[in-house]
Structure 1
Amino acid sequence: MSLPKKILLLVLLLIVFMAVCVYTKIGQFTDEFSTSTPQEATNQVTQPLQNEETPPLTPEETLKKIDEPLVEDEEKKGEETQKNIEKIIEQNFEEKNKQTQPLLSKENIQEQINSVLENNSIMFQRMSYNVTKQSQDTVEKIAQILIQNPQIKIEIAGHTDAKGDDSFNQMISEQRANSVKNLLIALGVEENRLSAKGYGETMPLVPNDKEGYSLTNRRVEFNIIEE
């Protein structure tokens, strides 16, 4: 065989050998790809992403995250404080209005008390210092006047007619005055604003009859003694 033909044959053999090698490599790559699972393929794709580190926050961003809840809490506290202040101001305003309301004079209050007693004198059970049920309503009206005018103090004066012994009349007048005082305290009047005194038969409003009887003289009075 001539030399040129030998060279051509060697070239052809080399080409065939290279083609076989390339084909073999392609087949191996295809087999490996087809046998890998979808999860492995996903892992291969996402692995670089997972390995990426989150960039650190700047000082300003960190401070903002810390301050946000604190600012919100401070705003709530501020609103609550403002409401409390408004409530206190309102209460003080109402109290000031009460204090600035004009007080009745001593004379006007005494007139109110006397007006109540004019047609509703305080009566007691016979031979007793207990107030009758009807007269309890009168005492309640007096109590309301005293509660509405806390600046005054009252003397509760008990009186009798001339029937009976002087010492007995003195005792019964004192007992009846104290009975009314205790009833006023029970109705809400402060004890330190009340005093009770019995005058017996010594201060009649009208003359007693021949036997010493007088319904008018058997009475309880309420006299303002201090403002």
Structure 2
Amino acid sequence: MELGKKVFLLSLLLLLLIVSCVYKHTKELVDITPIFIEEKVIVDEPSTNEPIVEEEIEEEQTNEVVSLQIEPNDEMAKEVNASVTEKITKIEEEIKEPKEIILKRIDEGYRRSNGELFYIDLSSKAKEIQDSLYLLMKNEPFEFTKNGIDYITKNDEMLSKIVKIMNENKNLKFEIAGHVSIKPDEEKYNTYISVMRAANIKKKLISLGISKNRMKARGYGDKIPLSQDDIKLFNRIEFNIIGE
């Protein structure tokens, strides 16, 4: 065989060997690449989940902060509601059971003569009797007819209690004091009605056996109201001890 042909054949074999080697290595590279890709995916998956965990933690922390902010407001709201409820309850109790009105006793303006006594001058025993009379007349006030002056039998039960006190304390002398304010700013009219009421009660007591010498009937009109703050009580009958 000629030398040229030998060289050609050797070159061709070498080329085939090179191609064969290249093909073999290329296939190995192609087969290996997916393995690397899969490993990369497997490695990367946990990293994609980490932000989600962090967000959940952050959300839990946010909820804790919100709850801490709400609790003080709830406590404040409870305190405000409790305060309002307490005030409403107090008002309701005052409406159901109004505060007792204690009208002031005033001696100034009453007439006294010939050694007659004011409340402040009475003995302790006479003061106790006087206090019981005030309480009695406060709870059971006198009533009169439509003309405003005549005694009516509706007062008999209460008057009998006064008669009992008089009979048990025969040393005491009394003023029957009428107080009236039927027509404001009409002093003469109010005084007349108050005098007539006191005089008619005196007549009734005389008929029940009480000596007229133990009693004085006087009318004060609207000059001496019982008072507490802005509250005034005009229309009433009083039995005041003036001697013992």
- TM-score of the superposed pair, with normalisation by structure 2: 0.45
- TM-score of the superposed pair, with normalisation by structure 1: 0.48
With a CA cutoff of 8 Å and minimum separation of 6, indicate the structure with the bigger relative contact order: 2
